[in-house]
């Protein structure tokens, strides 16, 4: 086995070397209290495929990933599917609602900006939930069918091309949220609580990025190997990618008067069509303005643009549509 950890290493080493592995272990359904048992002994006891476990640990603890092809070959897909499904449950049912509760405690709900930050977070949570539920209901069942030796007309690339929200767009929303809290939220009263929730957001971001990276590489390539299996009917040779490529921003720049007006109307809750009518321009022009604004400010969500508009005096708080 290539990588930092091997079958004969004590399981406790995995955690004492990197506390983040605690989450990974629980997602495999392995509970603590393994004493001096080795990785192989603990996995056997918990009915977890040892090679898949080691591959995931080595993937997460060594970011070099020089031996990705070898790693992919060691993956047992049913074990991987269980792991990913448990990770989804962790994010949707536990981690994201927990951060929301903390956020509610940390921000002053009488403040308009606090309400918008919460709205922003809710939009982010909804995006992650839709994304992961799509994987649960479309991607995973497809792989389960392949494992049963059955293949329909679609391939992984077809299914993932209809995927709700890409990994990069979800991560971008979280980066924006952090930026907005750091730049614009005055934390006079609950400074400790707010830094605490920010730390949580940083940690969940790292966790989410690792999850996505594993899906894009290990999982995706293991499924593609299976798709090429001669045991399946009508195999096709075709490359597929789980997630579309990220969109980069050019950084901040000065906003034109027209762009400031578009932001003001967005913050008032107007649709692109309504903005076009009000400004006597085409809907396409509004969309171009919005793209340029998002690129300049690196803010894409409506709630984020609204916060920007309030903080920069483009709109009065009373005129904002919540
Ligand atoms: Fe996922
Ligand atoms: Fe995903």
Residue 2: the pLDDT is 64
- Tell me whether residue 61 is in a domain: yes
Residue 238: the pLDDT is 39
94 CA to centre of ligand 1 in angstroms:
15
Residue 57: the pLDDT is 93
The average confidence (pLDDT) of the chain is 84
One domain for residues 35 and 85 = no
Q: Quick one: pLDDT band at residue 8, thresholds 50, 70, 90?
A: very high
135 CA to centre of ligand 1 in angstroms:
6
Residue 231: the pLDDT is 66
Please give the residue range of the domain that contains residue 215: 77-227
- Tell me whether residue 91 is in a domain: yes
One domain for residues 60 and 86 = no
- Tell me whether residue 186 is in a domain: yes
Query: Could you give the CA distance from residue 115 to residue 155 in angstroms, rounded to a whole number?
Result: 42
Phi and psi of 10, rounded to 5°? -65, 135
- Tell me whether residue 234 is in a domain: no
Query: Percent of the chain, pLDDT > 90?
Result: 40
131 CA to centre of ligand 2 in angstroms:
6
Could you report the per-residue pLDDT of 288-311, keeping only the tens digit for each? 999 888 888 878 888 888 888 888
pTM summary value = 0.76
One domain for residues 267 and 167 = no
One domain for residues 48 and 24 = yes
Could you report the per-residue pLDDT of 134-193, keeping only the tens digit for each? 999 999 999 999 998 887 778 888 887 767 567 888 888 888 888 888 887 776 667 788
28 CA to centre of ligand 2 in angstroms:
18
- Checking if the pLDDT of 41 tops 50, the result is yes
Q: Which of 18-32, 131-145, 194-208, 303-317 has the lowest mean pLDDT?
A: 303-317
- Over residues 216-241, the mean pLDDT reads 71
215 CA to centre of ligand 2 in angstroms:
6
204 CA to centre of ligand 2 in angstroms:
14
| HEC readout, the chain | CCCCCCCCCEHHHHHHHCCCHHHHHHHCCCCCCCCCCEHHHHHHHCCCCHHHHHHHHHHHHCCCCCCHHHHHHCCCHHHHHHHHHHHHHHHHHHHHHHHHHHHHHHCCCCCHHHHHHHHHHHHHHHHHHHHHHHHHHHHHHHHHHHHCCCCCCCCHHHHHHCCCCCHHHHHHHHHHHHHHHHHHCCCCCCHHHHHHHHHHHHHHHHHHHHHHHHHHHHHHHHHHHHHCCCCCCCCCCCCCCCCCCCCCCCCCCCCCHHHHHHHHHHHCCCCHHHHHHHHCCCHHHHHHHHHHHHHHHCCCCHHHHHHHHHHCCCCCHHHCCC
């Amino acid at each position: 086995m290539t990588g930092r950890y091997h079958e004969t290493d004590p399981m406790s080493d995995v955690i004492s070397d990197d506390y983040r592995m605690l989450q990974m272990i629980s997602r495999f359904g392995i509970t603590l209290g393994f004493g001096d048992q080795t990785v192989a002994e603990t996995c056997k006891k918990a009915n977890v495929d040892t090679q898949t476990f080691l591959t995931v640990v080595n993937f997460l603890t060594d970011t070099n990933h020089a031996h990705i092809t070898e790693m992919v070959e060691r993956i047992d897909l049913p074990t991987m599917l269980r792991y990913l499904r448990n990770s989804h449950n962790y994010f949707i049912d536990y981690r994201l609602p927990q951060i929301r509760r903390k956020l509610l405690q940390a921000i002053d709900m009488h403040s308009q900006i606090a309400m918008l930050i919460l709205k922003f977070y809710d939009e982010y949570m909804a995006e992650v939930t839709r994304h992961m539920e799509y994987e649960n209901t479309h991607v995973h069942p497809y792989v389960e069918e392949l494992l049963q030796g059955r293949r329909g007309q679609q391939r992984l690339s077809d299914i993932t091309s209809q995927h709700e929200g890409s990994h990069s767009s979800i991560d971008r929303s979280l980066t924006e949220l952090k930026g907005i809290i750091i730049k614009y939220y005055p934390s006079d009263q609950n400074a400790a609580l707010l830094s605490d929730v920010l730390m949580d957001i940083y940690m969940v971001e790292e966790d989410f990025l690792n999850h996505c990276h594993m899906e894009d590489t290990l999982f995706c390539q293991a499924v593609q190997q299976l798709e090429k299996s001669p045991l399946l009917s009508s195999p096709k040779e075709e490359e597929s990618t789980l997630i579309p490529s990220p969109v980069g921003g050019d950084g901040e720049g000065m906003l034109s008067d027209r762009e400031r007006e578009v932001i003001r109307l967005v913050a008032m809750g107007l649709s692109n069509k309504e903005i076009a009518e009000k400004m006597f321009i085409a809907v396409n022009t509004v969309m171009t303005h919005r793209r340029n604004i998002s690129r300049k400010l690196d803010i894409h969500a409506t709630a984020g643009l609204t916060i920007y508009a309030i903080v920069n005096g483009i709109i009065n708080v009373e005129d904002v549509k919540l």
